[in-house]
Amino acid sequence: MDTPATDVIVATRTAFAQVTALAVQYGFSFIGAVFLLVGGWVLSGIISRWAYQGISRVHGIDETLARFFENVLHYGLLVLVFVMVLGQFGVQTASIIAALGAAGLAIGLALQGTLQNIAAGIMLLVLRPLRVGEYIETGSVKGFIVEIGLFATEMKTADGLYLMAPNSTLWNTPITNHSRESSRRQELSVAIGNDTDADPVKKEILTIVKSDDRVQKQPAPRVFSNDLTADKTVLTVQYWARTSQWSETRYDVIDRLKDGLSSKGIVLK
């Protein structure tokens, strides 16, 4: 007959055998998971660096955008590796993927405004309607671009104030870039009395404007009558100058016109 001591021994041996079998089974799974985790971590780093180097070679891709894609790829691969590691232990990965998808949807809805700024930042960096150092103007902001980030763009106004604009506000509105083109047209108005002969005044204005070396020869400057009232004729002066010299040229040409026309006895209205 079996004694209680014998029953204990048998139960102990059975339990030990089961523990041994589980240890062997999950031991191999643990070792495989460790190799998978380490290998996946190293491989994801290598692949993301390769992707960064490849994206960086593409003309017009900003450094910020290249780093962003590198990080997205790196952490996306790590999430995939983590799911594969859980699969090593018999966890149903389909439910995990579904949960991650639901969590991503919830986070996306909660951070909708932030994601809009990120998407707008990516588009600004890819299409490059503005670059660092350029002066831009929209319906709500204007200033020099200091840095284009994924969430917001840092700017400095003409009077030296710091300005941060969310990327979505820049992307969803027309942008006037004052610095992109190498040359800009300037337009000035000169009003003379109706009793003054306009043709000699036009010739004198052209002489004064062309005397400035910063005024471009082509397209050639021109002067034409643009408005007429009961007591005055408004002449419009148009010329082109380099964008970097546009403002200073305007100020100097105005002074030259005032002094030059006054010296010829031409009275301005």
- The listed CATH number (2.60.40.10, 3.40.50.620, 3.30.70.100, 3.30.465.10) that belongs to domain 183-263: 3.30.70.100
Domain ranges of the chain: 4-110, 127-177, 183-263
Q: How many CA atoms lie within 13 A of 140 on its CB side?
A: 11
Q: Higher confidence at residue 115 or residue 25?
A: 115
Q: Does residue 2 register a pLDDT over 50?
A: no
User: Given this structure, which CATH class describes domain 4-110?
Assistant: mainly alpha
Q: Report H helices in 57-92.
A: 63-88
CA-closest candidate to residue 174, choices 132, 140, 135: 140
Say yes or no to pLDDT of 21 above 60. Answer: no
CA distance 260 to 263: 5
Q: What is the 8-class DSSP label of residue 244?
A: G
Bond into 221 cis (ω within 30):
no
CA distance 44 to 53: 14
Kindly give, in sequence order, each residue whose CB lies less than 8 Å from that of residue 29, ignoring residues fewer than 6 positions away.
88, 89, 90
Asked if residue 63 has pLDDT above 80, the reply is: no
The residue to which tokens 């109706």 are assigned = 194
Query: Lowest-pLDDT range, 17-31, 95-109, 185-199, 211-225?
Result: 17-31
Question: What architecture does CATH give domain 127-177?
Answer: Roll (2.30)
Beta-carbon contacts of residue 209 (< 8 Å; ≥ 6 apart):
215, 221, 237, 239, 253, 256, 257
The Cα–Cα gap between 253 and 102 comes to: 65
Q: Which residue has the tokens 């910063």?
A: 214
Longest CA–CA span in the chain (Å) reads 140
- pLDDT in the model for residue 1: 47
Residue 16 reports pLDDT greater than 60: no
pLDDT band at 11 (very low <50, low <70, confident <90, very high): low
Higher pLDDT, 144 or 11: 144
> Which SS3 state, helix, strand or coil, does residue 94 take?
helix
Say whether pLDDT at 62 is over 80: no
185-207 tens-digit pLDDT: 999 999 999 989 999 999 999 99
Mean pLDDT over each residue of the chain, to the nearest integer: 82
**Tens digit of each residue's pLDDT (9 = 90 or more) over 142-170:** 999 998 887 899 999 999 999 999 998 89
